[in-house]
Structure formats: C-alpha cells, structure tokens
Structure 1
Amino acid sequence: MSGTKDTEGQYMYCIIRSLEPRQFTTRGIGERGDVVYTVHYRDLALAAVVSDSAVTEYGSSRRNMMAHTLVLEEVMHEYTILPVRFGIVAPSVKAIQEKVLQQRYDELDSLLVEMQGRVELGLKAFWYENVIFQEIVDENPPIRRLRDGLTGRSAEETYYERIRLGEAIESAMWKKRDEDAEKILSTLRPLVCRTVGNKVITDRMVLNDAFLVEEKRQPEFDAAVDKLDEKMGKRMIFKYVGPVPPYNFVNIVVQWDSDGG
C-alpha cells in the first residue's frame, strides 16, 4: 500500500441507517489507527461508515481483510448494515455524499428495508473421505469390480482402467453430493428468506451455502443444523458460522469519476 497526505480519502466499510454522527472503537484499515466514523448528507437517514485513508489500492492480505471485517462486526451489533466491497476508497467526503448517499438513496434504502431484522448464516459440509469412498464402492458394483480388478497388477498394465475408475468415482461423487446437499437444504429451506449457493471447492465438500434468515428464527435454524449433525455427522463434518455481515446478499460497489466526484 502506498499513499501520502496529499492523496487522502475515506475507506468505506458499509452503509447504515442513521441521522446521528457516530464514531466506533475499532480502528480503521491501514495500521495508522484512524478513527472509524460516519459520513452523512443533509437530512437523509443514511450514513456511510468510513475511516480516513490514503487514496490507494489495498491488497487482499489477511491483515487488511481482517481490519475490514472487524469494523463490520462492530457496527452490525448496533445497526443493520450494507457491506461495501473490500478495497473501496472514496476520493473525498463530498464524493460519498453525492455519489452514494444522495444518488443511490432509493437503492440503498430499499436494501436496508430488505436486510432489516435478518442475518446471514453460513453452512459448509464436508464428507469424511474414507466413509464416502466406501459408500460409493458398496453402492456401485461396476466400480467395485473395476477396483478389485486392479489388485496385483502393475500401474502400467492398468493405466486405462485406473482412468475409468477415477471417472466413475467422480461421477458417483457428484450424484451423491447432489443427493446429500438436497437432504440438507430441504431441512433448512423452510426457515430461510433467501439462499446463495457458493462454489464447492474440494472433492470432500458437499455444500457451501449462505442463508438469509429472520433474526427471530435463528434459534430454529441453529436447532435444525444441530439435528442435521446428529443425523449425518458420522458421514460428514458441518462448519456453521454466523451471524456474519451479509456479503452474499449485498455487495455495494462504487465507481468514482476520474475527477474525484
């Protein structure tokens, strides 16, 4: 990161509904100890949560991402928040007031209404590798025959058979993944407002979803996840997080004019 006092702007964290100026205890991104505060525009009941910052590009290091997230976590204890995408630096307070709070008031107001009283909860599920592989072999005689046919034979001799076995196992895993994911989702779907399915990024991963849930229904959702763990926990591990900032349902992106707004 680079920048000087000649290129000072404001790093944006989120949008909240507030008429009163606020400061927060968490320090801003950039390790300068900048105060996190709100920017307002006239009598509009919206505010941007910001800290002073060099007008620069922030790399997505763990330190920077954590600084961004810690501010959001503090603010969301008191307010419904609309997260701003990581790394957005405004050239001036005026730019925030005019380009965001004024010009995008209707959009932001509508999103705050939608998010009011709701929380994002995240759930990932991972198979135990040995368990799922054994299930696939037990449930698929052709795969079992292919596997058994490799015993005692060289890698060169069985090269193409090993490829066929790998392809057959991969196909069976996708089918089983879809089935298991649907079992999980069918339990949770009645409790949620919206769901976002994120990419499954490992062979063991069954589910990687975010759920927008009414705050008052979170205890029901918690209990449903516990029951899923009781029912399916011998086959997979559940990783449940939340409430977290609603990144999967709101992602405010701001484009500044070249003249700085």
Structure 2
Amino acid sequence: MSIPLYLYGIFPNTIPETLDLEGLDKQPVHSQVVDEFCFLYSEARQEKYLASRRNLLTHEKVLEQTMHAGFRVLLPLRFGLVVKDWETIMSQLINPHKDQLNQLFQKLAGKREVSIKIFWDAKAELQTMMESHQDLKQQRDNMEGKKLSMEEVIQIGQLIESNLLARKQAVIEVFSQELNPFAQEIVVSDPMTEEMIYNAAFLIPWESESEFSERVEVIDQKFGDRLRIRYNNFTAPYTFAQLDS
C-alpha cells in the first residue's frame, strides 16, 4: 500500500536533496520528477491537515527556503494538498493542464510577487474628514438630538460615505501611480478587515524589488502616521500562479 504524499509546489528544474528541508510532521522533503515537472513533497502522516498557524508557516517555509536556495520559478500548491500516488497527479493535474503549467512557468520566469496592504484608522479619518468639510460637519451636528426621517438619515450617511471613499481613493491613487509602472501584472483583492483600504499583489522583475521597496518607503514617509503599510517582498507567487478552471 502506497504512502500518501503531501505536496508543496512544482518547479521546472530538479530540486537537489542536499537542500535538507523539513516539512509537515517534521518529515523530510523530497523532490520527484513527474513527466517534465519537479514536485516538492513529503510523506503525509495525516489524511487531512488543519490550517493552523504552525502548519501554514511550515508549508510556506519549505517554498521560501527553496526560493532562497536559488530555485525562484515555482508554482506553489495550495495548503493541505494530499494525494495517494503520482498517478493521481499525472491524471488529474498534468494531463489536463500541462500547457497551462508551462505557460505559467514562462510568465513567472524572472519575476517575483510582492504585496501591499494599507491600513488606516477609520475613526481618525472620519474626524479629519469632518474637520476639513465644515459644511458637512455643521449639517451632521445640526441633526443631533433631532428626530430624523429615514430619508435624512440616508442622505447624511451617503454624504459621509462618499467623502470617505474619495479620501480612500486619493490614497490608493498615490500608490497606483508610483508602483503600477513596475508591474507586469497587478491583482487587487478585497480588503480583509474594516481598517484595510487596499490589498494588492504585484508581479515585478526580480531585479526591480529594491527600487520598488524604496518607492514604498517614500510613500510611507509621505503619509506618516496616517497609514500603516504592510509590505511583503518575498513570497511564493500564489496570486499569479492560478490555473484556469
């Protein structure tokens, strides 16, 4: 009976065993060439893996250590992928998607994924916005303590929301103007929290990262304490390695 396999990612080149990687359940990570693709895997000790912080970080660490070792072009596989044998990979992944896999490798060659997440203090922004729009502030203050119709409540709410949205878009526009020219592709995702106003991934040339990072730093200084910027400059390219369904 074959031992189930936990998969981490796919590479176009063979990964040497000398990298000495440790995967989930502290199992050694191996490489296996299937057709023309090299898979990183370890023996699966569980049928299903809990998406705990420790497990997720271990999965990421295997890929990042491999990238640090010089194997930068990869297609990361989603966390928790366990297969029973290599024939399953051949029939369910390689045979139906071989051309797409090769196209993704071509797209990612010489490129890296970096990501930007922008946060602000929504209450502080609202207060600042009100102070800079005295007419709107006066209109809101005049309504305090009064019994308002639904139409009046909706109207003032829409005015406040539209002004906040304009402030948000002005911030995003600065980032877009400065950073978009670096990118071959950009994927903007939905914010993950109420405080997050921008969540974007950029596919940029490897050699451009230092300049990209400097631009991020300049923007950060420009906005000061108004924003918190989370910049990830080294990650497996999950956003740009998606197979068409």
Specify the TM-score bucket, using the shorter chain as the normaliser: 0.7 to 0.9
Q: State the match for 2:101 in structure 1.
A: 108
The aligned amino acid for 1:211 is: F
In 2, Cα distance between equivalents of 1:111 and 1:58: 27
Aligned to 1:14: 9
**Aligned equivalent of 2:89, options 79, 96, 121:** 96
**Cα pair distance change 1:115/1:65, threshold 3 Å:** same
Deviations along 1:130-179, one digit per CA (max 9) or x if unpaired, are: 5422332134344312332255x38xx46966665444322322222122
For structure 1, which runs of at least 5 residues remain unmatched after alignment? 1-5, 255-261
1:201 and 2:196 correspond:
no
Question: Within 2, Cα distance between the matches of 1:199 and 1:105?
Answer: 30
Q: Distance in 2 between matches of 1:108 and 1:20?
A: 18
Query: TM-score, normalized by length of structure 1?
Result: 0.81
Superimposed CA distance per residue, residues 176-219 of structure 1 (whole angstroms, 9 cap, x where no aligned partner)? 21222122111111111111101123333221111111011111
**Structure 1 residues 23 and 103, CA gap change in structure 2 (3 angstroms):** farther
Distance 1:251 1:72 in 2: 17
* TM-score normalized by the length of structure 2: 0.85
* 1:90-239 map, 5 Å: 90-101=83-94, 104-150=97-143, 153=145, 157=147, 165-239=156-230
Are 2:117 and 2:230, in contact at CA under 8 Å, matched by a contact in 1? yes
> Is the contact between residue 114 and residue 204 of structure 2 (CA under 8 Å) also seen in structure 1?
yes
**Is the contact made by 2:8 and 2:77 (CA closer than 8 Å) also made in structure 1?**
yes
* Equivalent residue pairs, number: 242
Give the gaps of 5 or more residues in structure 2.
Answer: none
**CA shift for structure 1 position 128:** 3.4
Aligned to 1:250: 241
RMSD: 2.7
**Residues of 1 paired with 2:30 and 2:242: CA distance?**
20
1:68 maps to 59
Native 8 Å contact 1:73 1:244 kept in 2:
yes
**1: CA distance between counterparts of 2:160 and 2:193?**
15
User: How far is 1:233 from its partner?
Assistant: 2.0
Cα distance between partner residues in 2 of 1:120 and 1:238: 17
- Give me the identity figure in percent: 26
